Amino acid sequence: MSAHVGAAGRDASPEGPSANEVGESLYAPSRLARLLRKDAAGMVGLSLILVILMAAIFAPWLTPYGPTEGDFMSARLPPAWMDGGSSAHQLGTDQLGQDVFTRIVYGSRVSLMVGFLGALLAVSIGVTLGLLAGYFGGWLDTIITAFTNLLLSIPYLVLVIVIATVLGRSLTNVILLFGVTGSPVFIRVTRGEVLRLKRLAYVEAAVGLGATAGRIIPQHLLPNLVGPLATLATFEVSAMIFYESGLGFLGLSVPPEIPSWGNMLSLGRQFLTIYPWLAIFPGVAIALTTLGINLFGDWLRDALDPRAEEGS
């Protein structure tokens, strides 16, 4: 639900509520902070996200080892609390003697970059094409809708694997891959919202007064798209992190020399019954990250509902 749909009929101005009025109510930081403090699950989600972000940013200060630094004399050490473990490698080492904790911390950078940059690219493509299709209609709408339906008709995992195989293994290619394949859902949501908003009285009045698309889109349409798109983008970040790990597990993500959680899972499965920690710890990292983002996304979806405070 948009920020000011309910008020549209009462607004005396043909221009309708401005973007500033929307921002001062539904998206006001003080309001969001107040709602977050009341939501334990949202706080847990945000805390998990912040911890993982801090680990990614301060990785060089959290471990004395480099992400590709190995010592064959220390290969396959179990975690420190197990027999044969070493306090120098709290989560153990892999078959090359690389510190597992170090690989997980540095691997968080790859996963977060893929998730956030991939989602940002998907939003950019989706909002642009969705606005064009919904606002201008005609042949442009037909082409964009056909493109969207084509991508959505193909099973997502199959589409991702095929494109990843064609593009090859690199971080840039993975981000581009998720940006393109993640855009159809944003195109569809944006187009649907724009078609609905165009029929509101204040938008029709603005068009009747001669307002151009360059004014209507940023002033009346985009502010009303923030809520649904922000919530959707949050869940897309989580999904992209999960799918990147899946691609890494299949050997289709970043090159093996780059630490990533998917690559660690791919390596760990070969020794799952002998050295289970090689797969367990990156799996836990993926689970905690996606859990944190999903919990925060659930809170954000409710917080951006204009009725949120009525039931609180």
| Res. 15: pLDDT tops 80 | no
Contact 117, 177 (CB under 8 A): no
Asked whether the predicted pLDDT for residue 307 surpasses 90, the reply is: no
The vertex-171 CA angle with 240 and 265, nearest 5°, equals: 65
Mean pLDDT of 50-79: 90
Bridge partners of residue 76, in order along the sequence: none
Residue 16 pLDDT grade (very low, low, confident, very high; cuts 50, 70, 90): very low
Give the pLDDT score at 48.
96
The domains of the chain, with CATH numbers, are 32-304 (1.10.3720.10)
Q: Please give the DSSP secondary-structure letter assigned to residue 77.
A: P
Quick one: average pLDDT of 32-39? 88
Query: Residues 85-106: pLDDT tens digits?
Result: 888 899 989 888 899 999 999 9
**For residue 18, is pLDDT > 50?**
no
- Percent of the chain predicted with pLDDT > 70: 90
Calculate the average pLDDT of the chain. 85
pLDDT in tens, 289-304: 999 999 999 999 888 8
% pLDDT > 90, the chain = 47
Question: pLDDT category, 4, cuts 50, 70, 90?
Answer: very low
Residues 6 or more apart whose CB falls under 8 angstroms from that of 129 comprise 144, 147, 148, 183, 187, 190
Q: How do residues 209-231 score in pLDDT, each as one tens digit?
A: 877 778 888 888 888 888 889 99
> Do the beta carbons of residue 238 and residue 176 sit within 8 Å?
no
* Average of per-residue pLDDT across 159-183: 90
DSSP, collapsed to helix, strand or coil, labels residue 32 as helix
At 98, list the tokens: 């690389």
Q: Is the pLDDT of residue 24 over 70?
A: no
Lowest mean pLDDT among 12-16, 161-165, 175-179, 213-217: 12-16
